[in-house]
């Protein structure tokens, strides 16, 4: 049902992706052990507007760009625009909001909300990571760092703000600690808008904070 190759302003020939044939002809993909495909391909003739709303097709075999285009169709995906929210994260303390330490990017995925953190100045080890009620990282009246973020985000008294813990690297790479991607199967991008993200130290104190989407 995906139809034939996307021709665009090319000609009717199925050929090398750098030639003058189908505009949608792409370079090969290479699967490594375990069936993973991790290589990057470049399509110099395509633009984003060319491909939105179309399908990517992966074929079973290599393509000789002459006869059959790689044999049977084994996988596909429809191309769509996915919204992404970037949150700038700052250290917090009893005097207010401190220096910026990086960003956390949130994107919807078929399996839930994907969060990728790229942060500096985070102590090595496990850190609690929560969505909090309010879009405010200021000090509360009782002197709690980021206390104005409120409590964990909840719906009908169900705590939905607790995210999987983040692990900061034990290695020192130019004083930079990169936190691994984490997936929350319940939350969505639209749901977390208007809230804040808080990273906690091992003792539960609030170490860093960011207003989601800012």
DSSP string covering 159-207: E--EEEEEEE-SS-BTTEEEEEEEEESS--HHHHTT-EEEEE-TTS-EE
Closest to 27 in 3D by CA, of 62, 52, 54: 62
The pLDDT of residue 15 is 78
CA distance 142 to 86: 30
Q: What average pLDDT does the structure give for the chain? A: 83
What pTM value is reported for the model? 0.63
The pLDDT of residue 180 is 55
CA distance 198 to 125: 16
More confident residue, 81 or 24: 24
Tell me the per-residue pLDDT of 122-134, one tens digit each, with 9 for 90 and over: 777 777 888 999 9
The pLDDT of residue 89 is 95
């Amino acid at each position: 049902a995906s139809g034939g190759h996307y021709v665009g302003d090319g000609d009717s020939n199925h050929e090398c992706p750098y030639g003058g044939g189908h505009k949608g002809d792409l370079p090969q993909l290479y699967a490594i052990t375990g069936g993973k495909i991790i290589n990057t391909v470049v399509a110099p003739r395509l633009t984003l507007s060319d491909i939105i709303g179309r399908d990517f097709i992966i074929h079973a075999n290599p393509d000789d760009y002459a006869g059959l285009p790689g044999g049977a169709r084994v996988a596909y995906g429809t191309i769509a625009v996915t919204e992404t929210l970037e949150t700038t994260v700052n250290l917090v303390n009893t005097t207010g909001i401190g220096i910026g330490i990086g960003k956390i990017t949130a994107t919807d995925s078929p399996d839930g909300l994907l969060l990728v953190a790229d942060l500096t100045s985070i102590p090595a080890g496990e850190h609690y990571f929560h969505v909090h009620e309010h879009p405010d990282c200021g000090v509360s009246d009782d002197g709690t760092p980021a206390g104005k973020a409120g409590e964990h985000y909840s719906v009908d008294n169900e705590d939905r703000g607790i995210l999987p813990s983040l692990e900061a690297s034990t290695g020192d790479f130019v004083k930079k600690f990169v936190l691994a991607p984490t997936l929350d199967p319940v939350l969505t991008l639209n749901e977390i808008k208007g809230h804040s993200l808080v990273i906690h130290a091992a003792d539960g104190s609030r170490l860093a904070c960011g207003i989601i989407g800012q």
